[in-house]
Chain A
Amino acid sequence: MATEDSPSTEKLRRIWEGKPGLAGWLSTVDHKEIGKRYVVTAFLFLIIGGLEALLIRAQLARPNQTLLTPEQYSQLFTMHGVTMIFLYALPVLSGFSNYLWPLLLGSRDMAFPRLNALSYWVFLFAGLFLYCSFPMGKGPDGGWFNYVPYASRAYNPGSNIDVYALGMVLLGISTTVGSINFIVTLARTRAPGMSINRVPVLVWGTVTASAGNLLAVPAVSLAFLMLFMDRQAGTHFFDSVAGGQPLLWQHLFWMFGHPWVYAIVLPAMGIVSDALPVFCRRPLVGYTAVALSTVSTMVLGFGVWVHHMFASGLPALSLSFFSAASFVIVIPSAVAVFAWIATIWTGRPVFTAAFLFFAGFVLLFVIGGVSGFMTAAVPLDWQLTRTYFVIAHLHYVLIGINVFPVLGGICYWFPKVTGRLMNEAFAKVSFWVMFIGFNTAFFPMHILGILGMPRRIYTYSDHLGWSTANLVISIGAFVFAIGLLLFLINVFRSFNHGAHASANPWGAASLEWSIPSPPPVYNFAVIPIVASRYPLWEDLMDEGPERSSVGTGMLLDQGRETVGSTVLDAEPDVILRMPGDSYLPFLLSVSLTAVFVSLLLHSTWGLGVTALATFAAGVWWLWPQRALGQIQEQK
């Protein structure tokens, strides 16, 4: 058995450790570093998007306010949506999965370590790109779903929409390479014995989201490309005067948009399915049902996009079909909800802060699910669409199913990542402040919507009876923000002053808790061998004679290596050589971003130079290396 500080781990540490300082920071391909960066960057965007929301709520707190001009208001609500949905919600989950996957799967890195770094850098640069025109008062202003004809050049001639269109195509590249990486990582790099029915539910959630992204992201990239061409190259895809169809935009956008909603909640639901049972001291009830419901939610999610378009005058037959599909999709979600409730009910819950976040999530998910179920009915949707009811629904869904599980996940994995424990009492206080603030802010929006307040209006008259509810909402929004601030203060304090954590402070079951906190740079001193779904609970559960092995296994210390295994049964079939640290992901991201900047500036020579640089970086990247076993052995 290889123990800490033995000569073999010392050798592994030398193999896997990156350079110190800025050089290491720019060149690292360690999934743990990249995962942390993803989470921190996504939280910075969450704070920016949150400040935008607070400005919006300050404007709406009283009737007839003039804190913001209509044009400022349009840019703020657009950037709020863009930031939260595209720059926070998926990237934060990508961060969790990047950090955790190799630790959950018993391997030493993602299948494509450099691609992993590339997806982070492109995400960061796409985020900066999307914000580049905002300080000049030229930010995207057509709402996050950016309907034509308002977004076409005739009605919106500035660079606002061009920035959005190009930025989204660039971000799509990051999402795509990230998704490919997750799919191949799941298929090929699981520890021996971790057959497909033994992987944690977070892995199911992320791989389902990734497959969905590969199918859905091209729709929105194409839509934005067509819009950019309509605006700048004289095409007529959405131009009804020339025979184009504005509704084509809505179809393409929501063919992407609805699966995307599942992409930003399924991994978060996976976090709950894995972590909640730890605090109930029992395995998840209905693992197989939950895994299958995850996949079937995404499959059904591709057949419900028209429910965003019920009010656009489509034929009744089409509305009925999509309405029915939208009702059916409730079933897999309900399966998961009942599994979580049964896990709490039949377990012995320990009321930690993480547990509170997960239990709170279940309640908010049910409320958001019910309001979604309501708007799946066409007649009710005709009444409620474009009102605050929809705003209430989507925030219950996105904050309830994404932010609460993410914060619970931070409480749960904080000791593993930092080696320190978070302050429990402080975390509980921040939970209750956020939970109360959230419901104060968003529950009254249901009522405002039923009273008929439309979304996206920058102010309202005091005769309409909306004033009190709006004031309550604004107060709730600030309370929620204070709760989040408390949470972040706790994170910083605990990071510096928290008590030191053991390898497995919660007594959890999965592989990441078998290694020290924080994990060594090579993850596992030996590649574990997995014999069950709960490797660290086998003695407690005592369900059979088989035991996983976390101390004995393949050492793999001839360079950066991990085990490749078969797709279903995870039987080892190759030793994969992993590339070392490299500046190429950073350089390629810079040149790729420069391609999009050239397009924005209509610079033909810039486009030529940057495209050439991107190609050169790509060839350099892919140049076969003998050390990776890509060139024939020397004779």
Chain B
Amino acid sequence: MMESIVSESALPVGSKGHLASGWWGMLALVFTEGALFAYLFFSYFYLALHSISQWPPGGPPHLGIAVPGTLILVAASVVVWWGERGIQGAKPRQLITGLSAGIVLGLTFLGMQGVEWHNEPFKLSTGVYSSLYFTITGTHILHVIVGLLIMGVLLLWTSLGYFSAGRHAAVSIGVIYWHFVTIVWLVVFFVIYIAPRLG
């Protein structure tokens, strides 16, 4: 069956999109990070179910900042996706625009989260709910920061002219993390902001 030894020149060489080991490694990383958030949500619901007083203590959190924040983070994912399409079509300018816009939107989201934290009437050590609230949103904020660092480094590398339509594995790998941060936020948003309104 294997008589025909594939000639070496027929195969692509080096890091090529989904053939790059890093692409698979990033999927595995996102898998285990997703598990981390799943255990955070498990802890949230476990402690909520065992709570004998009102949950959340001050009623469901306000949506005033969270809803626009959600839209902004989704938009940050969309523009980066659009930028990646650019480099696939040999348009590095489009990638630079997409990454820059993604970084601006991500920073805006971070700023809004800062305001949200500042406005909360409780602090980390107030009670069980506040411990969970700050730990879950704080873990997500850390992931946004890491995502922003990745986007920033990709922007630098793109500006240096490293990537082409055929060679941009680093971009394909980095944006997986960025989309992951957005998707996880949607679940965080549901757990923290929507679920208390369903009970």
Interface residues of A, Cβ cutoff 8 Å to B: 111-112, 115, 176, 179-181, 183-184, 187-189, 192-193, 214-219, 221-222, 226, 229, 233-237, 239, 242-245, 248, 251-252, 255, 529, 531, 546, 549, 552-556, 561, 563-564, 572-577, 615, 619, 622, 624, 628-633
Contacts and interface: CB of A to CB of B under 8 A. Distances in A.
Contacts, number: 168
The 5 tightest CB contacts between A and B, nearest first, are: A629-B14, A234-B125, A632-B164, A235-B131, A218-B36
B53 interface: yes
Contacts of B168: 632
A619 B153 contact: yes
- Tell me which of A111, A179, A221, A235 has the highest count of chain B C-beta atoms within 10 A of its own C-beta: A235
B189 to A, nearest CB: 20
Contacts of A221: 36
Contacts of B179: none
B8 A630 contact: no
A552 B6 CA distance: 12
Interface string B1-38: 11001101001111110010100110011011101101
A237 B170 contact: no
Nearest to B87: A632
Interface stretch (B39-47, B59-67, B68-76, B104-112): B39-47
Contacts of B1: 193, 531, 546
Given A180-B29, A218-B36, A630 B15 contact: yes
18 contacts: A115-B25, A187-B24, A188-B24, A193-B1, A215-B35, A222-B40, A234-B124, A243-B50, A243-B53, A244-B47, A245-B47, A549-B2, A576-B14, A577-B15, A629-B13, A630-B169, A630-B170, A632-B164
B135 interface: yes
B149 interface: yes
Nearest to A235: B131
B185 interface: no
B6 A112 contact: no
Interface of B: 1-2, 5-6, 8, 11-16, 19, 21, 24-25, 28-29, 31-33, 35-36, 38-40, 42-43, 46-47, 50-53, 124-125, 127-128, 131-132, 135, 149, 153, 157, 161-164, 166-170
A632 B167 contact: yes
A245 B28 CA distance: 31
A236 B169 CA distance: 43
Contacts of B28: 179-180, 183-184, 214
Given A222-B39, A235-B124, A243-B52, 20 more contacts: A180-B28, A184-B28, A214-B28, A218-B35, A219-B39, A226-B43, A237-B47, A243-B127, A244-B131, A248-B47, A554-B6, A554-B8, A564-B21, A573-B19, A574-B11, A574-B19, A575-B11, A577-B13, A577-B15, A630-B167
Contact of A222 (B36, B153, B157, B163): B36
Nearest to B123: A234
A242 B128 contact: yes
B162 A236 contact: no
Contacts of A554: 5-6, 8
A237 B128 contact: yes
A629 B14 CA distance: 4
Contact of A243 (B36, B51, B149, B170): B51
Nearest to B7: A554
